[in-house]
Amino acid sequence: MRGPGGPAPVRRRSRYGLTPYWFLLPALVVYALFLLYPLGRAVQISLYDWDGLSLATFVGPANYADVLTDDRLRSAFGHSLVLIFFFAVLPLGIGLVLAALLTRGQVRGMGFFRTVIFLPQVIAMVVVAVAWRQIYAPDGQLNTLLRAVGLDALTRTWLGDFTLTLPAVGLIGTWVSTGLVTVLLMAGMSRIPTELYEAATLDGAGAVRSFLFITVPSVRAEVVVALTMTIIAALKTFDLVYVTTSGGPGATTTVPSFEVYRRAFQLGEVGSAAAVAVVLTVLIFGINIAVNRIGERES
Amino acid sequence: MRISAGERATNYAILILFAVVALAPVLTILQAALAPETPQDALTGPPLHVENFGRAWEQGRFSEYMLNSVVVGVIVVSMATTFSIMAGYAFGAFTFRGSQALFYLFLLGIMVPTEAIVVPLFFDLQALGLTNTVWAIALPQVAQSVAFGTFWMRAYFRGANRSLIEAARLDGAGHHRVLWQVLVPVARPAIVTLVLLTFMWTWNEFLIPLVMSPNAQLRTAPLGLALFQGQYVQGTTLLAAAAVLVALPVVVLYLVLQRHFIQGMLEGAVRE
């Protein structure tokens, strides 16, 4: 077995022989066939003009040029930026406050709050979307509530409005992500030593200053993880858009993942769909690496 | 450290507000599901119309869709867990040529979005005549779950007690005995968490089942719900009841075993 003062690497390998590879084989086979190979195929298909039926023609980077020039595709990626605000930035702000209250606010029922706030995270996105469609419906709960408090002027068809539908869909994302972010930050905050806060109080710092100068800097690592997870969730949003708006009205709420589906399976533009998918994947990899780099440098 | 009564009251107010916001949509859909479906129903029967669930179940063909979801879930969870335990053992307990590179190859899979693989998978599986089968829905999800599961079990086996392995080896146990009869029983909490997360992801998955069954022969529960929404336009009652039915298995598991869910998603997120 491995350990300090163990045999040299060469002997170790001969001792194990092929054993580790046998243990790895089933996972590797299914992973290679159903994930790695299709990923490579996506790159290959993205270089062709193909309708999924007839012979494909090689077009090189033309499909990628489309991502930059096609208005609908460009706005799909633009909508992702808006969704990142609602899925990641807003929940981070709310989560920092909630987590600080739950860990430092000396409140009872922490377990209850944690369970309730995290709950949206485990509900199927389709169910979430169906529920929020009903809430946002013309005679749904949101408009009913607005009328009840005399704000009739604010009522509208939330999922049919050209300017407000994207934020309305985004807020569903806020509702889903906030619990995850809060619980993640709670884990980080529970590790901050109490003495830090006591010293700050002795120095005359109030709750807000302690929060800004002790709590927030101490959970940098958790902030990085929370942002990575929620930004990627925002970029991958498919079921939510599919069920609530199908990208509409017009193309005001379409997102890259929905465009992948639409192009490949509704319009028969498979090559273009693959190019969007590859760009989305590269974006996700890039964000993963970038956010973690920033996190490492700052900590 | 003490805080004032006023500050504490503010804290409670904020927390209760957010708990209400988190719960309101859930309660809304539950209330809609239990409301009378027709004016006639409102006059007869109990105040809570539990019969809506039965009606949604029948009209939405959920017995069929739930069964499909269960079959897919069993395949994905059992295959992915077994393969992940084995691969995690290989990475966690051995040093071998290429282990680093292979491990990073698996890590890559955690980041690859479903959108990237679903298009080629559909056309290749269609060419093989595998679309509209449970395998077309299950195997891509096994691959995705194996990527996470391998990472998860490797972390666990790396921290496992080495003297335990050595003692078992000295007693003449083979690698399979060491793994399945010594390590796996000890690793049960980690495996339970992995099983729950895999089940949740599989049960809630939408894009893969949507694409892999183009003529709607084989629908899982979330697909059934989306289809039901398209067909069922006259009211919200049965749609809400159907939504509750689809969410229920995972939500019940979460409420009973919430520590495993939260811990798994947080620890899984923090990749060393």
Q: Give A42's contacts in chain B (Cβ within 8 Å).
A: 116-117, 119-120
- For chain B, the domain total comes to 1
Shortest CA gap B207–chain A (Å): 7
Residue B2 domain flag: no
For residue A60, the distance in angstroms to the closest alpha carbon of chain B comes to: 18
Please state whether the predicted TM-score (pTM) of the whole model is above 0.95.
no
Q: Kindly identify which residue of chain B lies nearest to residue A20, measuring between CA atoms.
A: B90
| Torsion A140-A146-A147-A149 (CA) sign | positive
Residue A50 structure tokens: 């193909």
Q: Is residue B39 part of a domain?
A: no
Provide the pLDDT confidence category of residue A13 given band limits of 50, 70 and 90.
Answer: very low
Band (A6; pLDDT cuts 50, 70, 90): very low
Question: How many angstroms separate the Cα of B123 from the Cα of each of A43, A52, A244, B79, B264?
Answer: 14, 7, 27, 24, 34
Q: How far apart are the first and last CA of chain B?
A: 33
- 3-class DSSP state of A269: coil
At A58, give phi and psi (nearest 5°): -70, 125
B25: contact with A, CB 8 A cutoff: yes
Residue B136's domain comprises 61-269
List the 45-104 stretch of A: residues with Cβ below 8 A of B.
45, 52, 94, 97-98, 101-102
User: CB-based burial of residue A132 (10 Å sphere; 0-12 exposed, 13-18 middle, 19+ buried)?
Assistant: buried
Return d(Cα A75, Cα A254) in angstroms, integer: 8
For A202, the closest chain B residue by CA position comes to B1
| A34, A41, A141 member nearest B140 (Cβ) | A34
Cis amide prior to A249 (ω within 30 degrees): yes
Q: What residue in A sits closest to B212 (Cα-Cα)?
A: A265
pLDDT band at B44 (very low <50, low <70, confident <90, very high): confident
Answer whether A20 sits within 8 Å of B262, measured CB to CB. Answer: no
DSSP of A96-157: HHHHHHHHHS--S-HHHHHHHHHGGGGS-HHHHHHHHHHHHSTTSHHHHHHHHTT-GGG---
> For residue B139, is pLDDT > 50?
yes
At residue A221's C-alpha, the angle toward residues A193 and A227, to 5°, is: 135
List Cβ neighbours of B210 (8 Å cut-off, separation of 6 or more).
A242, A261, B223, B226
Structure tokens given for B175: 């690698």
In a domain, B223, yes or no: yes
| A90, A174 Cβ separation under 8 angstroms | yes
The token pair at A60 is: 């090189």
Contact B206 A238 (CB under 8 A): yes
CA distance B36 to chain A (A): 16
Whether B7 is covered by a domain: the verdict is no
Question: Are residues A45 and B1, on separate chains, in Cβ contact within 8 Å?
Answer: no
- The CATH number for B130's domain is 1.10.3720.10
Structure confidence by residue, pLDDT tens digits, A50-86: 999 999 999 999 999 999 999 999 999 999 999 999 9
Confidence of residue A199 (pLDDT cuts 50, 70, 90): very high
**Residue B49 resides in a domain:** no
A198–chain B Cβ distance below 8 A for any pair: yes
If contacts are CB pairs under 8 Å, which of residues 137-196 in chain B contact chain A? 139-140, 142-144, 146-147, 149-150, 162, 165-166, 169, 175, 179
pLDDT score at A47 = 98
Please check whether residue B45 lies inside any domain of the structure: no
CB contact under 8 A, A280 and B116: yes
Model confidence band, residue B165 (pLDDT cutoffs 50, 70, 90): confident
**Does pLDDT of A4 surpass 80?**
no
Confidence band, pLDDT 50/70/90 cuts, at residue A145:
very high
Query: Which residue from B69, B65, B80 is spatially nearest to B203, judged by alpha carbons?
Result: B69
CB atoms within 10 A of CB B78: 13
Q: Searching chain A, which residue's CA lies closest to the CA of residue B21?
A: A175
Q: ipTM value of the model?
A: 0.94
